[in-house]
């Protein structure tokens, strides 16, 4: 398992709610970060989309670099991009602590996971709802994290797909010691407890935080649901 200080901190903090900054106010990034830190979040989840692997296009290195200057929180970078091996060094230099790639996005996921770990970062592997677990099982020993998507990557407004719960339960049975399970897509007050019961450690949340007036109340409410799951 990777010994990156912030990755170790995140592992020790789980179960944890991770805000997905895709929905934050980028015109007031420092203020948003202060609100999230004040709410007690343990890490930040950053969705990088390339307009190719997924149809949407988001931010890249400059936002990650800016966040790294502003906070010591772990930066959990989710790459929804084709051929991620071309950019791993760049994201590491920008300040990522954990980099997750999609098994559907590269022909050599094992090599890319090793590349990430060789830089002292946490390595993550993600899979979409329609992708069977058999695609990733042989790579689990190379993962610090597996990200189970409960919606198709890159598409907003989708309903939580309960197949994610089946995958989480199976992964919870077979995961190596220390490997974290993360879930992303439609995670809110109605679904977070079932994700926790299925074995998830990290819960990526968007509108259930950023769609609320009070981030602290939103985060605390979600954490209370985790404690009772």
Q: Read off the pLDDT of each residue in 181-193 and give the average, rounded to a whole number.
A: 95
Closest by Cα among 184, 193, 202 to 225: 193
Closest by Cα among 191, 226, 187, 177 to 209: 187
Write the pLDDT tens digit of every residue in 33-84: 999 999 999 999 999 998 888 878 788 888 999 999 999 999 999 999 999 9
Write the pLDDT tens digit of every residue in 2-21: 668 999 999 999 999 999 99
pLDDT for residue 156: 62
What is 5-228's CATH number?
3.20.20.70
Q: How does DSSP assign 10-30, residue by residue? A: HHHH-SEEEEBGGGS-GGGHH
108 token code pair:
């050599």
pLDDT for residue 51: 84
Known catalytic residues are 47, 184
* Full-model pTM: 0.95
Q: Are 19 and 44 in contact (CB under 8 A)?
A: yes
């Amino acid at each position: 398992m990777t010994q990156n200080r912030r990755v170790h901190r995140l592992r020790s903090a789980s179960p944890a709610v991770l805000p997905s900054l895709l929905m934050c106010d980028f015109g007031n990034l420092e203020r948003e970060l202060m609100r999230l830190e004040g709410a007690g979040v343990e890490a930040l989840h950053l969705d990088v989309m390339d307009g190719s692997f997924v149809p949407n296009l988001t931010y890249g290195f400059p936002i990650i670099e800016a966040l790294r200057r502003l906070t010591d929180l772990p930066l959990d970078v989710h790459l929804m991009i084709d051929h991620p091996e071309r950019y791993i060094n760049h994201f590491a230099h920008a300040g990522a602590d954990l980099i997750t790639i999609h098994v559907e996005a590269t022909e050599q996921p094992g090599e890319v996971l090793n590349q990430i770990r060789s830089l002292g970062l946490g390595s993550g592997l993600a899979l979409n709802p329609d992708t069977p677990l058999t695609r990733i099982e042989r790579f689990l020993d190379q993962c610090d994290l597996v990200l189970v998507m409960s919606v198709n990557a890159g598409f907003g407004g989708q309903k939580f797909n309960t197949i994610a719960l089946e995958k989480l339960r199976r992964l919870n049975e077979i995961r190596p010691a220390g490997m974290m399970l993360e879930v992303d897509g439609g995670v809110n007050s109605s679904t977070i407890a079932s994700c926790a019961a299925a074995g998830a450690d990290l819960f990526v949340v968007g509108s259930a935080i950023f769609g609320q007036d009070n981030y602290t109340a939103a985060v605390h409410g979600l954490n209370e649901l985790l404690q009772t799951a």
